[in-house]
Amino acid sequence: MDVCVNGPKEKLDSTVISQPAIYVSSLAAVEALRADNKGQDIIDSVDVTCGLSLGEYTALAFAGVFSFEDGLKLVKLRGEAMQAAADATQGSMASVIGLDSEKVQALCDAANEDLAEGERVQIANYLCNGNYVVSGGIKGVEAVEAKAKSFKARMVVRLAVAGAFHTRLMASAVPKLEEALSATTFNIPKIPVISNVDAKPHSDPSVIKAILSQQVTSPVQWEATLKTLLGKGLQNSYELGPGKVIAGLLKRTDKTATIENISV
């Protein structure tokens, strides 16, 4: 709470702190909604949930797959393992604004032409049309920034993250996470939880554990997730947690979609 409120920002941005902080504040937002007038009715009406990257753990906790405490332990360990992987590989991430996914892939291919394997970049977050996050070695991200104008990108924004998340550069974080996941009790979800890895819900606890291990090194299929929800007739939605990024992505995918933000 102290770091969330008082900073410093650099400490809050570190993966070790930010992951537990986002998890706790997101589930605190659920309790804020529950305490509000008709909040419990809204919570009871929710029939599907999902979360972007770390938010998948929040969604799984909401769906009763594991306890708040077990989720927090997993998130803490995930943050530590990913920080260690980031320290070992020196990667970065950046949002590419104004291009479709095919052009961002072409931009990554151009950036990777003269780079060693460990410096190359890939699309790590498929957020929505016109907003894709690339991730990889620092030289690769710098090459994307240098070449972006020639591909007619509107802008490239470097992200305040510790490393090249959702790429092969996070591979060293997987064994520790797998060990912790195998030792944690998972239940069948009470409602479907859409996975970041394949944009599909899964009910088998062993499959959910395997997917959470894959998630660290796999691209986040958020664009496909939103299209799946909208295609199945999404009517009302709620963003529970800090910021309004998810609401923005949903609105950019479908301007008529309704979403309410709840944060603490």
Task: Indicate which residue of 25, 135, 166, 195 is catalytic.
Answer: 166
In angstroms, the CA 226 to CA 128 distance is: 8
Q: Does residue 205 have a cis peptide bond before it, meaning omega lies within 30 degrees of 0?
A: no
Cα–Cα distance, 74 to 2 (Å, whole number): 21
To the query of whether residue 202 is one of the catalytic residues in this protein, the response is no
- Length of the chain, please? 264
CA dist., res. 193 & res. 223, Å (int): 15
Give every CB contact of residue 24 below 8 A, 6+ residues apart in sequence: 72
3-state secondary structure of 49: strand
> Which entry of 53, 92, 135, 195 is annotated as an active-site residue?
53
Strands (DSSP E) contained in the chain are 49-50, 91-97, 121-128, 131-137, 155-158, 193-194, 220-221, 236-240, 258-262
At a CB cut-off of 8 Å and minimum separation 6, what does 108 contact?
120, 121, 122, 123, 134, 140, 144
* 53 belongs to the catalytic site: yes
Residue pointed to by tokens 């819900």: 201
d(C-alpha 76, C-alpha 81), whole Å: 9
Please say whether the beta carbons of 129 and 100 come within 8 A.
Answer: yes
Q: How far apart are CA 218 and CA 165, in angstroms?
A: 9
Q: Is 123 helix (H, G, I), strand (E, B) or coil?
A: strand
Query: Which residues form the catalytic set?
Result: 53, 166
